[in-house]
Structure 1
Amino acid sequence: MHDILKKLDLTDYIESFSTLLAREKSIILEGDINLHYKLINELSNYDIKAPLEVESLDRALVHIQKQGILKVYEIYEFVKIINYFNYLRRFNFEGKLQEWIDKIIIPTEINKICDYFDSKSNLKDGVDEDYDMVKNAISKNKEQIKQSLYKTINSSKVRTYLVDSQVHYINGEECILVRGGFNHVLKAQVLDRSNSGFFYVLPHSVASLKQSQNDLLNKREEILLKVCKEISSMFEKNLMFLKFINKEFDRFDHYQARLFFAKIDDKNFILPSKKKQNKLVNFSHPALSDAKPISIDFTKSVVMITGVNAGGKTMMLKSILSAVLLSKYLLPYKASKETTVGTFKSINAVLDDPQSVKNDISTFAGRMVEFSKLFGSKMAIVGVDEIELGTDSDEAASLFKVIIEELMQRDIKVIITTHHKRLAALMAANDDVELIAALYDEENQKPTYEFLQGTIGKSYAFETASRYGIPHNVVKKAKEVYGDDKDRLNELIERSSELEKEYQLKITKLDSEINKMERLSRNLQEQKESLDDEIYSEKSKLHKEYKDARDEAKKAIKAKLVKESHQHLNISHQKASDIKAAKVVDAVELKVGDRVKYRSTKGVLISVKGKKAFIENDMGMKVQVKLEDLQRSGNPPKIKTPPKKATITVQKPASGHVKLDLHGQRADEAIDNLDKFLSDALLAGFDEVLVYHGIGTGKLSYAVKKFLDSHPSVQGYTDAHPSQGGFGAKVIKL
């Protein structure tokens, strides 16, 4: 891991991430990356403080397993972890995050240990009566030493010999500084001598108190040893739980550190995808300050980067491999969320000159050794810088063409930087090869650090030489030696690049025009639908007026004005017949499957019977309407949310125990209980449990072994440690 990080210039980036971890560990986050990504996303919704720094507990766990006695500071490291998970339980998590926290059930006796210590890892008052008494005695003793020293300092006999009236600390002892001849007035022990020739002395009156203090400190250590022994014994009984929570703490530490790291400079998590598309969008390599973001499509099997020297080709290669590596280990980086990175089992970087006098290997031979290793890989991505390094270019072009094509057949993605125009020309005919050119600013005579896909780039060796101080007459002679034919080839390459740039600009312009026309078309369609609604509204208004006129005529008939009423009725009927406020309809005939609109309802035409039509609206309801009342809808159909897949919820076991006692049970009863116990342990997330079956006649032991041998989730089992049952118990790995 260190080697690939160094090659890709990611060492400093990873070190800055590692400082956010609570304890030193590998950056690799083992397990289901999709589950990790989901939990990190859920965790980002909460404001959770970072855990305290914690020491590695691997040696402490081994010490417990061997029935050793932990020191106070080692016990307190476990307490830190337990306290942090108790802190997490205060949050009302949801989803997968809550399911995970619920699996971590802390035994009551372990929780009690956490109450023994204060924030400075000292035992609290009330934990042990003897410890409290000794603690108070030490405090009083210190005060007596202090008072005795001040009494000596203020003595009129001693004052003549005092250099100052301060209490000094020499080699951890309180003392006073006096001149020579002090022994005439003070009985004391000389601890040290100052640079000025004075003496640091400890009065005998204080020495007796110091001896008492040492006795009290020794007594305190004896009491602490007793307490540590009791706690270590209890830890031994809960060893499996301690291993489990130690591992889960590292997992949470990984999540929290990644979230904090993502907030710095607004980085994004890019989850590796199983899709074939690979595309970087606005990626900035972490090693560059104020880097120009790059966007590149590297979906094809081979990406060949050519072009100007010092134009950023190597950094482009490193950027692609860096993005793949950071995504693989779920580390955030600066890139747009549109970035898509595939899933690769391994990442290889062939960047350095492998020449070694010690190993008696040439540059080209070293490259061949590195390429030979790739033929045993699958689903890998490899980056090769300056592929032509160390051998004849014409021979190498043919060799590398065949090697690259063979690697493509093995599902290996290859990213190459090269100045091999012949190799580029040979590979350009392959549809699965992407050509990328590093661009050069002819006018200002310097690289642009921009890239153009679909073409071969010119090296600009002569221009680069001039830019870095090679005399112009030397460059001119070199061009003459190079020859007109090859110079014309470079001109054709340059012209090809110019045409490709013009082509890309035209495509961009056409895309803009197409988007503009699509927006205009949508606006016209919306205006048409709005006009249809207005016409329909006016027609409804006229029908209402007609109805009112007819009602008036009926009233006239009831008034027995027969002749006049019939005349009014005929006139009303004639006016209603003259109303021609039909809706605007499409010129194209509607067919089954078309998107249609009926009044304010939109849906899909599912069948037509004569003048009647049946539509299914966007709410899923089927409606029968007149065919003439339908019009085509310009709005795209709404995508229906697929029904949720049926899920089975398995209830989490209520018990978080990792031990089962089968003593006194019949074989069939014991196997049933063992089966349920193993199922509960798997749901709780335990990977190691302890089962007591006893020795007895051996029947129950045999039944347990036979059942464990056939259980699909049991990876293995061994006899327990003598302190945990020996031959009468089994430690089972799940």
Structure 2
Amino acid sequence: MDSHTLRTLEYDRIIEQLEKSASSEVSRRKLSRLTPSPDVAEVRQRLASTQEGLDVLRLRGDLPLEGLQDIRSALRRANIGGVLSPSELLQVASTAACEKQVRKLIEGIDEEERPLPILRGLTDGLEELSSLARIIRNAIDEEGRVMDQASPELARIRRAILQLQAGIRASLEQILRSPHYQKMLQEGIITQRNDRYVVPVKQEYRGAFSGIIHDQSASGQTLFIEPESVVNQNNRMRELELDERREVERILGELTLAVQENSDALEHNLDLLTQWDVIFAKSRLGKRLKGICPHLDKEGSVELKQARHPLIAMDDVVPIDVSLDGHTQAIIITGPNTGGKTVTLKTIGLLSLMAQSGIPIPAEEGSRVAVFKDVFADIGDEQSIEQNLSTFSSHMTHIIRILERIDSSSLVLLDELGAGTDPTEGAALAIAILDHIIKQGSRLVATTHYTELKVFAHARKGVINASVEFDVETLSPTYRLLVGVPGRSNAFEIARRLGLPDQVVQEAKAQISHDENRLEEMIGSLATDTRTASEKRKEAEALRREADQLLSDLKAQWRLWEEEKEKLKEAARRDAQSVVARAKRESEAVLEELRQWTREQRGSIKEHQLIEARKRLEEAAPEADWPRPVTGTESEKNRSIAVGDEVFIRTFGQKGQVIEALGEDAFQVQVGAMKMKVDRNNLEWRSTPKRDEAVKGSTSYRRSSSSVRHELDLRGKLVEEAIPEIDKYLDDALLAGYEQITLIHGKGTGALRNGVQRYLDRHARVETYRSGGQGEGGLGVTVVQLR
């Protein structure tokens, strides 16, 4: 990419912002070398990875990798046999620990919701090094000191040092307290000289105080003497300190060996983690700029929607729309000075460079960019004092260099083309240069003051006029880009508003040709029409947004209505289940009475007792005509029913199993422990369980246990909600042949557990129950034995 263009468009300032967004120094160094890529595949990969980073920032927040360090020099030292210092080992541990942070973040995002192939690929490529980080941090603290726990020997040596230090201080404090020595001491303190404990003794008592002199004060009045009584202890202290240093060196050597063994994995992780941080630096900058990753256009078109210059404050910048599509190869921008023409050029060029670097651009969704082999820019006053060239000569020098290098994959940006020389010659030269660039197939955006270039753009195929808007009322530019409308000079109108007499203005107008006056009038009319169309478009967009909001509100109300409807259905279903549960309990009680009569009065049951029991069973059946759920296809509803099939009783709202055919139009159906006669029209077929040969010559049917779990989770429910579920679940478990099931109710206040167990006390098919044991859930579950 052309280095002059990078400087002209201030690409280096974007790189500076990007470096500030990086977490680590190693990433900042890599970003400082980032340049736009001319390769389409590479640009696509860069933008895709940055988009994934933006997605992660939105879903999970940021993951700064401050712990990432450039440990390559430390790894080289370890590989050649050197021993790493504690600070170097901490840097290795910090870098190794980043792997776990990245893996934890990416594993917390649902892969089906966000595939993130690039970031997941980087994460999957990381080697597991958290154990190495743990080993180092268990031996070295954050201040770089090898800890006592690094080895038993080091802990023993340091305990001995502490004990010996305490003994030395005790001996010296005894000397300090002794009346015999107090008059000899300059001060009653203990200090150190040459790593040995000493006391300050007056010069005149040098001969009376036995010991070794290690130092004296600047005045010579004080001698620092190691008393003879602690010499052996200080010698032993030096020995222990040497032992400590040797043990620390040994520990550092072992840790360095562990680093050496993982050297390749550490360097591999450093490379992948640096790529990760570079991606996130771009995403962080994109988020701050409110940028997007644009689409790449294969045909070389550029369409920027509400594009903003990234180096201008958001409150001050005016967005622009730019389109260089298949029908428009060049844009000629005209308008007054300080009106925003140069900013428009820089915005187009800088956003192209950012996109080709994989950096989000400050524009709206739907923007498209092309991948240019080169971007060339000649912007601003490039007068060269060193070469003694004028402004015009300097511009021409750059333009000649550009013309030598352009092709169909280039973007050319020219500011004030032809300025600095005679207007007639300058206009002619500008038209020739533009024509040459267009013939080469390059995309072109140029600014000018020349009226001749407005006519050229109007007549030349693939070239379009544009202008920066100027508000004559306020005599100031609006910085809006008007595509399709050439700029007006506005000189006469501005002069009139500033107070120049109308007579002078009219005389000035008479000096220019009739065609030029008509052109200015036509441009003014176009600008007015464009402004009116823009206002109408804004009104239409406001109405569309209002309609969208109304539609959104209606959808929200519809969702609320549907949710309320579902709540009402659920409430009705629970009421129905409660009625059914009461009926089943009553039927169980009747059946239990019948069994009791059978046991107590074999053969002596009276007819009136059976009639009374049958009447109670009939009364137990619910009379309400509950709405049946709409399930199954019509063919399933009308399917033939056989003994053993699972069916749905429409008026009863429950499932049951056919145990006997009572002719063609009726069946005996068992629902839980209750049997009843049901008309065929009131039944819907649901499934046919597999047959088990229980007894030779006979066929029995059992509900498939694959659809019935051995446990029922009731946590979070009220007792009155849980009882119907338990009742149905016990029926299903009995039909599935289970002898033992588990009810999970949680511990909580114990209200749900007590309610469940009170219900189990009354259930006829419950043999026993108990609270869960160790490993079963304890008081949070109840284990039930069925009969």
TM-score (norm 1): 0.56
1:502 Cα deviation from its structure 2 partner:
2.8
Q: Out of 139-148 and 258-267, give the one that drifted further.
A: 139-148
> Contact 1:344–1:380 at 8 Å: present in 2 too?
yes
Aligned to 1:568: none
CA RMSD of aligned residues (A): 5.2
Aligned to 1:500: 526
Change in 2 beyond 3 A, CA 1:435/1:352: same
Q: Are 1:296 and 2:326 an aligned pair?
A: no
Indicate which of 364, 376, 380 corresponds to 1:348: 376
Change in 2 beyond 3 A, CA 1:72/1:282: same
CA distance in 2, matches of 1:239, 1:18: 27
Aligned to 2:9: 8
Indicate which of 104, 107, 110 corresponds to 2:126: 104
Q: In structure 1, give the amino acid aligned to 2:49.
A: H
1:419 Cα deviation from its structure 2 partner:
1.9
Aligned to 1:286: 310
Q: Which runs of 5+ in 1 are unaligned?
A: 524-734
> Contact 2:339–2:470 at 8 Å: present in 1 too?
yes
Aligned to 1:727: none
> Contact 2:376–2:413 at 8 Å: present in 1 too?
yes
1:369 Cα deviation from its structure 2 partner:
3.6
CA distance in 1, matches of 2:387, 2:51: 48
Change in 2 beyond 3 A, CA 1:513/1:223: closer
CA distance in 2, matches of 1:243, 1:386: 51
> Which protein shows a greater Rg?
2
After TM superposition, the structure 1 = structure 2 runs for residues 646-685 of structure 1, keeping only pairs within 5 Å, are: none
CA distance in 2, matches of 1:395, 1:126: 86
CA distance in 2, matches of 1:53, 1:421: 60
After TM superposition, the structure 1 = structure 2 runs for residues 187-336 of structure 1, keeping only pairs within 5 Å, are: 204=226, 222-264=246-288, 266-274=290-298, 276-289=300-313, 290-299=315-324, 300-336=328-364
After TM superposition, the structure 1 = structure 2 runs for residues 82-121 of structure 1, keeping only pairs within 5 Å, are: 82-90=96-104, 91-93=107-109, 94=111, 95=115, 96=117, 97-106=119-128, 110=132, 113-114=135-136, 116-117=138-139, 120=142, 121=144
> Contact 2:194–2:214 at 8 Å: present in 1 too?
no
Aligned to 1:402: 432
Change in 2 beyond 3 A, CA 1:129/1:506: same
Q: Out of 300-309 and 11-20, give the one that drifted further.
A: 11-20
1:381 Cα deviation from its structure 2 partner:
2.3
Q: Are 1:455 and 2:485 an aligned pair?
A: yes
CA distance in 1, matches of 2:299, 2:168: 76
Aligned to 2:53: 40
CA distance in 2, matches of 1:396, 1:485: 21
> Contact 1:427–1:433 at 8 Å: present in 2 too?
yes
1:310 Cα deviation from its structure 2 partner:
1.0
Q: In structure 2, give the amino acid aligned to 1:444.
A: T
1:227 Cα deviation from its structure 2 partner:
4.3
SS of the counterpart of 1:26?
Answer: helix
> Contact 1:306–1:456 at 8 Å: present in 2 too?
yes
CA distance in 2, matches of 1:480, 1:210: 108
Change in 2 beyond 3 A, CA 1:294/1:201: farther
CA distance in 1, matches of 2:232, 2:502: 95
1:219 Cα deviation from its structure 2 partner:
5.5
After TM superposition, the structure 1 = structure 2 runs for residues 47-86 of structure 1, keeping only pairs within 5 Å, are: 47-63=61-77, 68-86=82-100
Q: In structure 1, give the amino acid aligned to 2:285.
A: F
CA distance in 2, matches of 1:363, 1:489: 32
Aligned to 1:430: 460
> Contact 2:186–2:202 at 8 Å: present in 1 too?
yes
Q: In structure 1, give the amino acid aligned to 2:373.
A: K
> Contact 2:199–2:226 at 8 Å: present in 1 too?
no
1:488 Cα deviation from its structure 2 partner:
7.0
Change in 2 beyond 3 A, CA 1:199/1:285: farther
SS of the counterpart of 1:249?
Answer: helix
Change in 2 beyond 3 A, CA 1:48/1:318: closer
Deviations 1:482-514 (A, max 9, x none): 884349777555433321233224545776899
Aligned to 1:19: 20
Change in 2 beyond 3 A, CA 1:329/1:139: farther
SS of the counterpart of 1:89?
Answer: helix
> Contact 2:216–2:224 at 8 Å: present in 1 too?
yes
Deviations 1:294-352 (A, max 9, x none): 12223132222221111121112112222222222222343322333222233333224
Aligned to 2:759: none
1:393 Cα deviation from its structure 2 partner:
3.7
1:247 Cα deviation from its structure 2 partner:
1.0
CA distance in 2, matches of 1:86, 1:472: 73
Change in 2 beyond 3 A, CA 1:55/1:511: closer
1:481 Cα deviation from its structure 2 partner:
12
Change in 2 beyond 3 A, CA 1:477/1:496: closer
> Contact 2:86–2:252 at 8 Å: present in 1 too?
yes
Q: In structure 2, give the amino acid aligned to 1:399.
A: L
Paired positions, count: 511
CA distance in 1, matches of 2:480, 2:224: 77
SS of the counterpart of 1:19?
Answer: helix
CA distance in 1, matches of 2:176, 2:261: 56
CA distance in 2, matches of 1:506, 1:63: 72
Q: Out of 68-77 and 480-489, give the one that drifted further.
A: 480-489
CA distance in 1, matches of 2:273, 2:355: 22
CA distance in 1, matches of 2:410, 2:197: 68
After TM superposition, the structure 1 = structure 2 runs for residues 587-598 of structure 1, keeping only pairs within 5 Å, are: none
SS of the counterpart of 1:503?
Answer: helix
Deviations 1:443-496 (A, max 9, x none): 2222222222222223557999999xxx999x9999999884349777555433
SS of the counterpart of 1:323?
Answer: helix
CA distance in 2, matches of 1:330, 1:200: 71
> Contact 2:306–2:364 at 8 Å: present in 1 too?
yes
1:172 Cα deviation from its structure 2 partner:
12
> Contact 2:185–2:199 at 8 Å: present in 1 too?
no
> Contact 1:278–1:341 at 8 Å: present in 2 too?
yes
Aligned to 1:571: none
Q: Are 1:376 and 2:405 an aligned pair?
A: yes
Change in 2 beyond 3 A, CA 1:481/1:256: same
Q: In structure 2, give the amino acid aligned to 1:334.
A: P
1:190 Cα deviation from its structure 2 partner:
6.8
Q: Which runs of 5+ in 2 are unaligned?
A: 551-787
Change in 2 beyond 3 A, CA 1:231/1:457: same
CA distance in 2, matches of 1:42, 1:250: 19
Deviations 1:184-243 (A, max 9, x none): 9999877998xxx99999775799999988876665555454444445455455444333
Change in 2 beyond 3 A, CA 1:50/1:370: same
> Contact 2:286–2:292 at 8 Å: present in 1 too?
yes
Aligned to 1:439: 469
TM-score (norm 2): 0.53
CA distance in 2, matches of 1:192, 1:4: 69
CA distance in 2, matches of 1:395, 1:510: 42
CA distance in 2, matches of 1:115, 1:404: 66
SS of the counterpart of 2:368?
Answer: coil
Change in 2 beyond 3 A, CA 1:454/1:263: closer
1:83 Cα deviation from its structure 2 partner:
0.8
Identical aligned residues as a percent: 18
Q: In structure 1, give the amino acid aligned to 2:418.
A: E
Deviations 1:565-603 (A, max 9, x none): xxxxxxxxxxxxxxxxxxxxxxxxxxxxxxxxxxxxxxx
CA distance in 1, matches of 2:306, 2:194: 61
CA distance in 2, matches of 1:166, 1:461: 91
